[in-house]
Amino acid sequence: MKRTSLGIFVFVLATTLLCSAQEQKFANLGDFKLVSGEVIKDCRVGYRTYGQMNADKSNVVVFPTWFGGTSEEIARYQVGPGKMADSASYYVIVMDSFANGVSSSPSNSTQQHGVAFPKVTIRDMVESQHEVLTKTLGLSHVHAVMGISMGGMQTFQWAVAYPDFMDLLIPIVGTPQQTSWDMLLWNSELDEIRSDPDYQNGNYKVSPPLKTVAHIHQLAMRTPHNRATEIAPADFGKFFSGQVWTRDANDTVRQLEAMLGQDLATQFGGSMERAAAAVKAPMLIVVATQDHMVNPIPAMKFAELRKAQLLKLEGDCGHSAPGCEIDLVRPAVAKFLEAGN
């Protein structure tokens, strides 16, 4: 084979393998029983894989999705050579959480559509992911679980639900327990959805635009100082009108309810000390000290209880700090993952 032809062949092969890894995949779990005892019928969990698994399967990193996020979005921003989850070094499995419109959700369920879809918890999300990893992908252990925001909440849940399953844990701007501030935010968004006349008690034919929910969300996403200095008054109209909620309303409701129920202490008789003691894997806990969306206090307390590594992001980007301060976060995550090998 000529050198040019060989080069083309290798390029096509590499491209094919890369595209194959990036395809949306689904694991069919049948009728999946939730913590509440209810069942998701014909349950499906979406996932995407990136990178190459090594021979002893010791380089697997699990990355669950954030609030409203999809595996496609996580991969676009956080997965790749040199990114937060470095697919040049690790086999990254990005997992779609329940009610994100990809995995089983109110919007895509045929048997339990809309409000008929059962309430889910953060723990349910983790249980479904564990089943996919063990039964579909044949994994009994992974190198790390990491996630951002609601993905960070799932990472905390992984820590206590399956303490022997991973070498490392990296929750980023997540929380082991909702504070009254978090509850105020999530309940405000819930109430706004339910009071929207176009919501029709969840029995709408077309999901309402939920502009006010988008505005509430943006109020909490960054700090007042950041908004005041980053958006000039002359540009506010364009910014304000550009805020839209692209997620299905019932999907949003179920994920909001799941986050509101996040409290690791309830599984340990109300004791966060006991919850922290149940964790076995080393943790790198990343918080944004000016986070107005997921209050950092419970995560910082958990780090103290675990004597875990704590990375404080001090800038004024609030909940968006992992992106704004990526030059701090990325090397810290890379170092932590490498040290755990």
Domain residue ranges of the chain, discontinuous segments joined by +? 25-182+252-339
Residues with Cβ within 8 Å of residue 253, at least 6 apart in sequence: 106, 190, 193, 194, 202
Determine contact, residues 95/71, Cβ cutoff 8 Å: yes
CB burial string 32-68: b at 16+ within 10 A, e below = bebeeeeebbebbbbbbbbbebeeeeebbbbbbbbbb
Q: Which secondary-structure segment (H or E) carries 321?
A: helix 321-324
**pLDDT tens, position by position, for the chain (341 residues)?**
444 444 444 333 343 344 445 799 999 999 999 999 999 999 999 999 999 999 999 999 999 999 999 999 999 999 999 999 999 999 999 999 999 999 999 999 999 999 999 999 999 999 999 999 999 999 999 999 999 999 999 999 999 999 999 999 999 999 999 999 999 999 999 999 999 999 999 999 999 999 999 999 999 999 999 999 999 999 999 999 999 899 999 999 999 999 999 999 999 999 999 999 999 999 999 999 999 999 999 999 999 999 999 999 999 999 999 999 999 999 999 999 998 77
Alpha-carbon dihedral angle through residues 325, 326, 330, 332, given to the nearest 10 degrees: 0
Measured distance CA(103)–CA(126) in Å, rounded:
13
Give pLDDT tens digits for 140-151. 999 999 999 999
pLDDT given at position 185? 98
pLDDT given at position 305? 98
Determine contact, residues 63/151, Cβ cutoff 8 Å: yes
CB burial string 214-239: b at 16+ within 10 A, e below = bebbeebbbbeebbeeeeeeeeeeee
Measured distance CA(63)–CA(60) in Å, rounded:
10
Instruction: Say how many Å lie between the first and final Cα of the chain, rounded.
Output: 40
pTM of the shown model? 0.93
Contacts 24+ apart (CB under 8 A), 192-201: 192/216, 193/249, 193/252, 193/253, 193/256, 194/253, 196/249, 199/249, 201/115
pLDDT given at position 340? 72
Assign domain 25-182+252-339 to a CATH class: alpha beta
Determine contact, residues 8/24, Cβ cutoff 8 Å: no
Give pLDDT tens digits for 28-39. 999 999 999 999
Paired with 169 in beta bridges are: 145, 283
CB-count burial class (<10 Å; 0-12, 13-18, 19+) for 15: exposed
User: Token digits for 29?
Assistant: 């779990």
Determine contact, residues 51/81, Cβ cutoff 8 Å: no
Residues with Cβ within 8 Å of residue 61, at least 6 apart in sequence: 85, 90, 91, 92, 93, 142, 143, 144, 145, 146, 337
Measured distance CA(300)–CA(175) in Å, rounded:
9
Place of tokens 């978090």: 182
pLDDT given at position 253? 98
Q: Which secondary-structure segment (H or E) carries 123?
A: helix 122-131
Measured distance CA(19)–CA(297) in Å, rounded:
41
Measured distance CA(244)–CA(111) in Å, rounded:
29
Measured distance CA(295)–CA(153) in Å, rounded:
12
